Amino acid sequence: MNKKKIINDPVYGFINIPSELVFDLIAHPYFQRLRYIKQLGMTHLVYPGALHTRFHHALGAMHLMGTAVETLCYKGIDITPEEKEGLIIAILLHDVGHGPFSHALEHTIVQDISHEDISILLMDRLNEEFDGRLGLAISIFKNTYHKKFLHQLVSSQLDMDRMDYLNRDSYFTGVSEGVISSDRIIKMLNVKDDVVAIEEKGIYSIEKFLIARRLMYWQVYLHKTVIAGEQLLCKIFKRSRELSLTGARYPLTPALAYFLENLISKEAFINSREHLDTFALLDDTDVMAAVKVWANADDFVLATLCKNLINRNLYHVDITAGQPDATLIQTLKQKAMDRFNISEHEASYFVFDDSIRNNAYNKGDGNIHLLMKNGKLTDITLASDNSNLEALSRTVQKYILCYNKELV
């Protein structure tokens, strides 16, 4: 079978699959599952074009990694062919552990375990199937390989993951503020003292990258209507689990029932092949099939929430700098209790508050380094004359109040 395939990507054009091993990994059911998991959760409710998947993103990140390795090798950085393939595999599989609707339902269907942890478990399983050929990729992914700069290309504040998702999410949402100069940034990559750095002349491209990331968070990832959709989806599954644990049973796929009808700890998940095998069967279709069926449930709260999601009747969301007024929250809850004839606990599914955070650059957490002309490394915020960058390194926290539009 010919495994030298070319993929036509809407963001980068033609993408080559670099080796037979990579082809076989892409063809594996674990990776094919990513075709059915949306990259941006419920964002399509705001930006209708945002229907791209984790599959798209992983292939795009793989392409950028290949370009980055070629650039570094051209500059004399020692990366062996085996290390190159390890990098390609590590970035290809970095999101293989995502569950349905990506971040929207993380810690909701499967609690207490992150998609990164699940990715490692799936990589370990693939390594068994492929006779240990993923060992180098896994050590790079876990940051146990002796060349630490290789891990930074996979996971850092300037990795191939972020470079792809900013450009890709911008393309599919139509939000041009997220477009970054990924080609130029990659051409400016270098390595000094086992640290990935950007050559000094690339400083403005990095400034644009950080500002674009901040704008994409406020305009896309933390858009108030995106928050409304994702909160509604989470409340649906919180209610369904609450009912399941009291003995109520509603139709759903076996894989989804496995996790909703049982509380599985992180330790139990890690130590059970059955848990991982069942998780690997989950994707967005399990969730939406359940939501459509539950819209006719005999539980008023669950049925109402599901109908609201299907019909895009989302929560109203107020975003404020300070915590919402407690009296207002209680007033709205009372309105929900009176209007729907429900308990105060049930009203908390229709009125609730939470918080959101936006941090474009975590100073001190794997800093973005510039390689200055004198050969020294310096943090981007220290080298830049853009006063906005220092502000970008501070976490901005805001508060949200969600409630049914019918209550006002």
* Mean pLDDT on 27-52: 96
Token digits for 114?
A: 């992150």
- Band the pLDDT of 392: cuts 50, 70, 90: low
Q: Please, is 144 exposed, middle or buried when counting C-beta atoms within 10 Å of its C-beta (0-12, 13-18, 19+)?
A: exposed
**Digit-coded pLDDT (tens) for 133-154:** 999 999 999 999 999 999 999 9
**To which CATH superfamily is domain 6-223+368-384 assigned?**
Hypothetical protein af1432 (1.10.3210.10)
pLDDT of residue 387: 60
CA distances from 73 to 36, 188, 205, 253 (A): 35, 13, 21, 48
- Say which CATH topology domain 226-356+401-407 has: Growth Hormone; Chain: A; (1.20.1250)
Domains 6-223+368-384 and 226-356+401-407 share a fold: no
DSSP-assigned letters across all residues of 293-309? HHTT-SSHHHHHHHHHH
Mean pLDDT (whole number) for 229-252: 91
User: Which pLDDT band holds residue 2 (cuts at 50, 70, 90)?
Assistant: confident
Phi, then psi, of 396 in degrees rounded to 5: -100, 120
CA 372 to each of CA 181, 193, 198, 376: distance values in angstroms, whole numbers, following the listed order: 20, 13, 9, 5
Contact 289, 252 (CB under 8 A): yes
CA distances from 401 to 57, 299, 331, 406 (A): 32, 24, 13, 15
Rounded distance between C-alpha atoms, residue 178 and residue 163, angstroms: 10
Of the candidates 392, 388, 327, 336, the residue with the CA atom closest to the CA atom of residue 363: 392
* Domain spans of the chain, in order of start: 6-223+368-384, 226-356+401-407
